[in-house]
Amino acid sequence: MLRITANALAVGLLFLGFLHSLEISPSRAVDAPRSCSPKQFVCKDGVTCISKGWR
């Protein structure tokens, strides 16, 4: 009985670890801004907003 419980616990933890690894994906690590303010423009990388005063 103890072996069955230990195996079920190990499988459950493995499944939870797999789900956790799916949530943290490298593609979500760098999010582009939704939009820049009217006083800013988007840099060539498409991620950074730069003030128009820095031209």
Of 50, 31, 55, whose CA–CA distance to 40 is shortest? 50
Q: Which residue(s) pair with 42 in the sheet?
A: 49
Give the mean pLDDT of 34-51: 76
Q: Is the pLDDT of residue 8 over 80?
A: yes
Determine what percent of the chain is predicted with pLDDT higher than 70.
62
Element (H or E) spanning 15, and its range?
helix 2-23
Q: pLDDT-derived band of residue 28, with 50, 70 and 90 as boundaries?
A: very low
pLDDT of 32 reads: 54
Long-range own/partner contacts, residues 23-26 (CB < 8 A, 24 or more apart): none
- Of 27 and 40, which is predicted with more confidence? 40
